[in-house]
Structure 1
């Protein structure tokens, strides 16, 4: 009798999901500082250590490559050992990567430094899935807000990373920035402690639909990926994140080429990062009110407007306005696309479906970051902006078409 009375119908069905979302937001703030540190000073360290100036940005490119290459192995680890144990293992990559990078600076070893940033990229592949982990215990009504809360931790990461660099850059005498990577390793260690508080529910196995193979892992991955909803969600994610990386990478270089001070370019990126994550505090509520497709479409339109402004002039106001709109557009588009992906798989299919989505999205981000500088050098800032419109048009048409289909679907 006493036990039954303790369970009331007013129990919040999302209580565990809300708790996990805050744990993951804290881990995101710490883990998200990992790429922020590498991106902000990786090129400078590369310039100090590389045998040729043309190789200076290789450490940053290897961070993105490691992130994309690590997604499938990370999914396999989490599938085998669970979310929490997988994230603890992933955090160890951050500790090892930061430590190797710090030692490489002390020893003046460029190859070793590249290995450190590559391992830091592997750590990033675990951090990127925090947003999906927040939905594991969530009801369908709370999923978008759970994703939004986790990505809000990226705002703290965007502030924390640069501040860590400023306060630790000269911590090791005679080895500029070695202290910054030691701090990167320490943040990863703290993130391990935070993520140990994650509590994920057991994965239920749903009854297979007629024609589906009755396996514990759900439908084959190909079946999941060939769903029109999955294709549309992944396309929106690729375009939102890929174009953000494409334009963001080129923008500071374009500003410097136009004769604007380096400090102006750096401040523009700071405003961009703020715009990327600050809307996360309310994006989930907007999705609840207006729908996933609507907010995703608005994000894509904002990225298009950003490119239009980029084509309209070369003043500080043009660049900064374009970068701010690009950040907000990414937030709406990427959170919306992530929420759309969560509608395409069953609970027992989540690990492989999420891994497939992230492998495609972040593989595209790696390609975009590699190609942005070359296209800027070949065709200038204008061609970079013009190339944004075709993929935006395709993604927008697909998302709007899905919204129309959902609206006219039988209840």
Structure 2
């Protein structure tokens, strides 16, 4: 039974369930789409196009999704995103059964639309509660991916042979069903409550220009942690299986490393919100950066299998701390009248830079090796630390002014 302590918390639990369903669905797509594309492509050079379209479609739609969520309301907007995911799964089933590569591309692009809308689940949960509860609301939603991150690939392996005459079609049927289940939860249980405590005194203030919002230290720190944390994670994660195989570990070892990494990405969400309330947002963010730095140190020190597992686990936990903390800062950086604009542009920036990181991972690994690629992460972490220190200093100045008043 869903907790009903408050409408905002209830909504957060519904979104956590939807996050789990989305994570399971996208895990299936990410696990099998490269293989399916290779199987269907008329030219094998196009084999990775369906996989790329998931990210590209998400990036293209993410800004429009923010304004659509504002116009339609989050309940209907999120339902529309889940419906796109279900349709994407269904189209992919048809495409695989009929061996149609271009229709399959259409299906994976629709799943990318689902991804764009689901990216706002955590922000919706943060907007529904007061400032003190935002970190816990964000971590609660991301915790929905803990089981799904492991279950998705297992579900893909179990369902890919459901239709013997069409390999992988059964897995995409699972994507369709997970999207439909998410749709039912959103329409049946989600209400998008916005309490007075969540809105705060800024609710009646007019919107500022994006440039004015972006000049705030809190916004700079939020973007630094969300964008840099995600880019670092994608860069190292994308290269890790290739590096593991290149250092004489098996393909199954590479898959196991990523699965362990995904546990690190989502499991800390069970306690991240509580940690923010107990130790503070600043220490949480710096702990995330330190864990990313630990990943670099371990990766540069050894290429043993244990080192790969430890490095990628540290990377996952570090991303979680930076992402939960960065999202909490982002949710505090805008007025309600600015929500769609600021959230949309911040997510577009994160999508674009993360996609670029995934594209350069292979060339960087090929040219500089596993140690060199990890070393390239350190300047990015230093930039994130500088932006976060700027926000911490501004926060302390504001506290000093309040004490003197």
Q: Same fold (TM over 0.5)?
A: yes
Name which of 288, 302, 305 aligns with 1:316. 305
> In the alignment, which of 73, 91, 94 is matched to residue 85 of structure 2?
94
Deviation at 1:325, TM superposition (A): 0.2
Q: Does 1:199 align with 2:188?
A: no
TM-aligned CA distance change 1:244 to 1:151, over 3 Å:
same
Distance in 1, Cα, partners of 2:218 & 2:275: 21
Are residue 134 (structure 1) and residue 120 (structure 2) matched?
no
Structure 1 residues 207 and 265, CA, compared in 2 at 3 Å: closer, same or farther?
Answer: closer
Equivalent residue, structure 2, for 1:23:
14
Task: For 1:56 and 1:102, locate their aligned partners in 2 and report how far apart those are by CA, in whole Å.
Answer: 17
2:47 corresponds to: 56
Match of 1:235 in 2: 224
1:152 equivalent among 143, 146, 162:
143
1:406 matches 2:395: yes
User: In 2, distance between residues paired with 1:158 and 1:13?
Assistant: 26
Q: Is the 8 A contact 2:241 2:258 kept in 1?
A: yes
Pairing partner for 1:384 from 368, 373, 382: 373
Q: What are the residue-to-residue correspondences of 1:361-376 with 2, within 5 Å?
A: 361-376=350-365
Please tell me whether the aligned partners of residues 275 and 324 of structure 1 are also in contact (alpha carbons under 8 angstroms): yes
- Any idea what SS the aligned residue of 1:134 has? helix
Separation in structure 2 between the aligned mates of residue 241 and residue 126 of structure 1, nearest angstrom: 17
Q: Counterparts in 2 of 1:90-129, with a 5 A limit?
A: 90-129=81-120
Corresponding position of 2:315: 326
Q: Which residue of the other structure, out of 163, 166, 173, is the alignment partner of 2:164?
A: 173
Pair 214,144 (structure 1): closer, same or farther in 2 beyond 3 Å? closer
Q: Say whether the 8 Å CA contact 2:4–2:10 is kept in structure 1.
A: no
2:32 is matched with which residue?
Answer: 41
Shift of 1:372: 1.1
Q: Scaled by the length of structure 1, what TM-score is found? A: 0.91
The TM-score normalised by the length of structure 2 is 0.93
Aligned partners of 2:118 and 2:60: how far apart in 1?
14
In structure 1, the residue matched to 2:262 is 273
Contact kept in structure 2, 1:35 and 1:63, CA below 8 Å: no
Contact 1:302–1:326 (Cα < 8 Å) also in 2: yes
Could you tell me which residue of structure 1 aligns to residue 233 of structure 2?
244
Aligned to 1:142, the other structure's residue is in SS state helix
- Measured after TM superposition, the shift of residue 41 of structure 1 is 1.0
Q: Distance in 2 between matches of 1:351 and 1:125?
A: 14
In structure 1, what is the Cα distance between the partners aligned to 2:93 and 2:365?
32
Shift of 1:208: 7.4
| Corresponding pairs, count | 395
Alignment-derived partner of residue 9 in structure 1: none
Offset at 1:364?
A: 1.1
How far the C-alpha of 1:207 sits from its partner, in A, is 7.3
2: CA distance, partners of 1:348 / 1:156 = 36
Higher share in helix: 2
Query: Which stretch shows the higher mean deviation, 193-202 or 314-323?
Result: 193-202
Instruction: Provide the rounded CA distance (Å) in 1 between the counterparts of 2:101 and 2:246.
Output: 28
Ranges in structure 2 where 5+ consecutive residues have no aligned partner: none
- CA drift of 1:350 comes to 1.8
CA distance in 1, matches of 2:190, 2:212: 31
Aligned pair in 2 of structure 1 residues 332, 368: CA closer, same or farther (>3 Å)? same
- Ranges in structure 1 where 5+ consecutive residues have no aligned partner: 1-11
Match of 1:293 among 282, 301, 308: 282
- The answer to whether 1:306 aligns with 2:295 is yes
Name 1:4's counterpart in structure 2.
none
Residues of 1 paired with 2:127 and 2:321: CA distance? 21
Separation in structure 1 between the aligned mates of residue 335 and residue 273 of structure 2, nearest angstrom: 21
